Amino acid sequence: MKKILLTLGLLGSMNFAFSQDYWAIKSSGTAAPYTMNDASGTLIIGGETGAPAFGTLSDPIEFPFSTWTFYGNPVTQFKVSTSGYVTFDISQTNDISANTTLPNAAAPKNAIFAFWDNLSLEPITSGANTFASDVKSFTYGTAPNRVFVVQWRLAGIKGATLGDNVTYFAIRFYEAGTFDIVENYGFGTFNATIGVQDPSRSKGFMVAGSPSLNFGGADGTYDATKSHVYTFNYGIQPNVTPKISNASAAVASLNVPESQKIMLSVANTGKVAITTCNINYTVDGGSVITASLSNLNVPANGGGTVKLTHTTSLSASSADLGKYKAIKAWLSEINTTDGSSDTASFQIFVNKGVAATKRIFLEEGSGGWCGYCPDGHLRMRDILEENLNVNGTYNKVVGVVHHNSDGMANTQSNTINTAYSTGYPYGVVDRTLFADQATVGLNRGLWATKITERMNTVSPVNITITDKNFDAATRKITFTVKADFVDYAKPGDIRITAIVSEDNVRGPMLGATSTTWNQHNYYSQDDAGAGGSGHELYNEPAYFYGYLHRHVAKSILPSAWGAAGPIVNGPAEGSTYTQTFTYTLPAVSKVTENDYVGNTGIYTNFQNTFPGESNNKPGDINLIGIVSYYNADAKAREVINVNETPLLRGTGVKEEVKSNYISKVFPNPTSGLTQVDFKLSSTDNVIIELYNLMGQKVQTIHSGAFAGGDHTIYFNAENTNNGVYFIKVSSTDYTSTHKIMIQK
């Protein structure tokens, strides 16, 4: 997946070639501090329903810092305008709402224009929800690294139909003295100015497109990864300013040469492109290994990120297995005379590269009170169904739902929700912080994409659930989670955890709008109609009575994050660890006709109001085994692998594989991302290739070692010509092919 980094170029020009002014670089994607939906903050200006705020300039506001510098001058106070700017000219008394080019004598002086237009603040009501329209401030962090944010929410065009044109944007002031402007998202049409102007109105900078800029960020639906960020710098822009980061694989596998390459991601915020340089690295403090690169094009002004690859790969051997190699890498002799870059320091773990059967763990945060959560339930349903193998027996994704503030909430799930919730419903994929995300918790629109991204990661451990037992008399459940390491695993506090989950959980109605067991549904035409008439839930009720809650986490054993042991720090290839868990299932709860007064006799895909069992049903209990890292930082608790089995059906023991074969190529025909499912009888080196009808190899999709069992590899057919091809999977003594049509 492509990482969203610095994009586009210098967004304006300085007034004088050698005088100091501001210049800015545009990037995509926001990260902490500040999120658009932060519910805290201090109100500066608020719009009211039917009484919009416009043409308003606030009273002077004190910086939380003792001083901050703008155009080289210290400032301590500012005023905020509803028209999308702040001014450090405290003497200004009237708002100036008609935006212009910069610099300009008609524009506010000593000002930062976050999104200067003739704006109005007025709340919008949609269904049962009213969305605030205001200007607020926030302070994040501690001195001397605080960040002060001024945010405009739901700003519209003065005089336009309410809701037709709205946008969210903010200025982030950093205590160190810099600032940036975040354009979150919007819809409609604006004609705005983004930039700055000095106290004399003789200098000013504006980004390209001003004074006719439309809103920034995503169109119509908020996505933090698509927010536009303008980072402002004061001074004279250097020729080259390389920003480097590690692009090498986190794991170097001895049988995967590609993983041993040393690579750097390079962006350049200078005013001249990088065309030549030396790329250098050291291993464990050893001698410098240098390669000269030419014919490069690392664009100026943050115009894109380029991956540079060293011509000499990491020299790893069997003596390095299970160990980290410390790498330092940097650029020198940039464009011969433009100096060097900073140094990137990182570690690469060395293993053999044997892949276990990888499953992805999707955790959803939900609540009966949450009207948007049924849409999350549908997305999990679709993801789970789409990730069964052709026989429906190999679940490539395991799902569980952690409930909050309803009849299914539990202490351990509350701990998970506290750690990862970004608003309900949210999802967590393998508890992984993805490179293009600021939080582990993900918007539901990202779940499927991030699951696919994780599917090609290599797991060193297979998980099976064995020795299941349910004592009907005592209702005691006993089972063992077994972790078989087929390769070396990165050192760390690796833990075995188990979850007992239940399907088809329901409860008594209690009241027409109770959400203890009922599920609120904002997608209903009788409520907010959030998804429109085409949504699957549009014709369903606003409150589901007898809602069938699925994948409900009942208990996490031994605790939310597990406990240290029995897995050693840095498990070796061939090692096996087990942990046995017990859980006493409460007595079966039942509902009667009296529990659904006026709503009995309903049975659909979503609800059941017939009398009968409601929860704690042994036949609907599933057991989930998890192997994951534990770290004090909740962003570093990656799930390495997971598996699931029903309590009363199946053995939970990995079935013997009788032969090697491709079990599924999907979709077929394909036009883009394509999955290849295959099965091995034992650990073997595998090459997956794409051939055309002439028998010519078009692409090597993957090459590496896999343990016996089921596996999935993804490849992208987007840049392959239309036609009939063959997927070929080759192991030591077996070859399997499958015809596929690429049709775009």
Question: What does the pLDDT read at residue 660?
Answer: 59
Whether 128 is covered by a domain: the verdict is: yes
**Other CB atoms within 10 Å distance of the CB of residue 106:** 10
Give the CATH number of the domain where residue 729 resides: 2.60.40.10
Integer CA distances (angstroms), 730 to 494, 569, 678, in order: 33, 35, 11
Mean pLDDT of the chain: 90
- Both 412 and 483 in one domain: the answer is yes
- Both 178 and 41 in one domain: the answer is yes
Mean pLDDT of 82-93: 97
- Both 143 and 290 in one domain: the answer is no
* Per-residue confidence band for 4, with pLDDT thresholds at 50, 70 and 90: very low
**What DSSP string runs through 376-398?**
HHHHHHHHHHHTB-TTS--BSEE
* Per-residue confidence band for 663, with pLDDT thresholds at 50, 70 and 90: low
Residues 664 and 675 sit within 8 Å (Cβ to Cβ): yes
Domain extent at residue 668: 661-742
Whether 604 is covered by a domain: the verdict is: no
Residue 598, token pair as written in the block: 């006026």
Could you tell me which residues are beta bridge partners of residue 43?
136
- Both 696 and 555 in one domain: the answer is no
Query: For residues 51 and 296, what is the distance between their CA atoms, to the nearest angstrom?
Result: 57
Residue 460, preceding peptide bond in cis (omega within 30° of 0): no
Question: What does the pLDDT read at residue 73?
Answer: 94
The tally of domains found in the chain comes to 4
**Other CB atoms within 10 Å distance of the CB of residue 476:** 13
54, pLDDT greater than 60: yes
Integer CA distances (angstroms), 319 to 325, 393, 524, 578, in order: 12, 39, 62, 28
Burial class (CB within 10 angstroms; exposed 0-12, middle 13-18, buried 19+) of 531: middle
- Both 212 and 301 in one domain: the answer is no
Mean pLDDT of 650-658: 43
- Both 208 and 151 in one domain: the answer is yes
Please give the span between the terminal C-alpha atoms of the chain, in angstroms, as a whole number: 20
Tokens 């006719």 belong to which residue? 212
Angle at the Cα of 383 from the Cα atoms of 679 and 482, rounded to 5 degrees = 50
Whether 4 is covered by a domain: the verdict is: no
Give 580-638 pLDDT, tens digit per residue: 999 999 999 999 999 999 999 999 999 999 999 999 999 999 999 999 999 999 999 99
- Both 219 and 105 in one domain: the answer is yes
**What DSSP string runs through 220-273?**
SS--GGG-EEEEEEEEPPPS--EEEEE-S-SEEETT-GGGG--EEEEEE-SSS-
Query: For residues 142 and 536, what is the distance between their CA atoms, to the nearest angstrom?
Result: 46
- Both 450 and 570 in one domain: the answer is yes
Tokens 């400032």 belong to which residue? 75
Query: For residues 706 and 326, what is the distance between their CA atoms, to the nearest angstrom?
Result: 27
- Both 174 and 99 in one domain: the answer is yes
Query: For residues 1 and 432, what is the distance between their CA atoms, to the nearest angstrom?
Result: 15
Mean pLDDT of 506-519: 96
Lowest-pLDDT range of 26-40, 431-445, 645-659: 645-659
Q: Which of 186, 208, 235 is the last residue of a domain?
A: 235
Q: Tell me how far the alpha carbon of residue 405 is from its chain's centroid.
A: 25
- Both 208 and 128 in one domain: the answer is yes
Tell me which of 33 and 272 has the higher pLDDT.
Answer: 272
**What DSSP string runs through 464-531?**
EEEEEEEETTTTEEEEEEEEEESS---SSEEEEEEEEEESSB-----STT--SSSEE-TTSTTTT-TT
Whether 716 is covered by a domain: the verdict is: yes
Whether 423 is covered by a domain: the verdict is: yes
DSSP character at residue 213: B
Q: Is 618 helix (H, G, I), strand (E, B) or coil?
A: helix
Print the SS3 string covering 280-344: EEEECCCCCEEEEECCCCECCCCCCCEEEECCCCCCCCHHHCCCEEEEEEEEECCCCCCCCCCCE
Query: For residues 216 and 228, what is the distance between their CA atoms, to the nearest angstrom?
Result: 6
Whether 56 is covered by a domain: the verdict is: yes
Whether 654 is covered by a domain: the verdict is: no
Question: What does the pLDDT read at residue 15?
Answer: 35
DSSP character at residue 13: -
* Per-residue confidence band for 534, with pLDDT thresholds at 50, 70 and 90: very high
Tell me which of 382 and 710 has the higher pLDDT.
Answer: 382
User: E strand or H helix at 697, and its extent?
Assistant: strand 697-706
Residues 399 and 383 sit within 8 Å (Cβ to Cβ): yes
Question: What does the pLDDT read at residue 35?
Answer: 83
Tell me which of 708 and 654 has the higher pLDDT.
Answer: 708
- Both 55 and 135 in one domain: the answer is yes
Residues 111 and 150 sit within 8 Å (Cβ to Cβ): no
- Both 204 and 246 in one domain: the answer is no
Query: For residues 342 and 346, what is the distance between their CA atoms, to the nearest angstrom?
Result: 13
Question: What does the pLDDT read at residue 659?
Answer: 55
Mean pLDDT of 427-453: 93
Give 316-359 pLDDT, tens digit per residue: 999 999 999 999 999 999 999 989 999 999 999 999 999 999 99
Residue 566, preceding peptide bond in cis (omega within 30° of 0): yes
656, pLDDT greater than 50: no
Residue 609, token pair as written in the block: 């109001």
Whether 495 is covered by a domain: the verdict is: yes
Q: Which of 351, 379, 401 is the last residue of a domain?
A: 351
718, pLDDT greater than 90: no
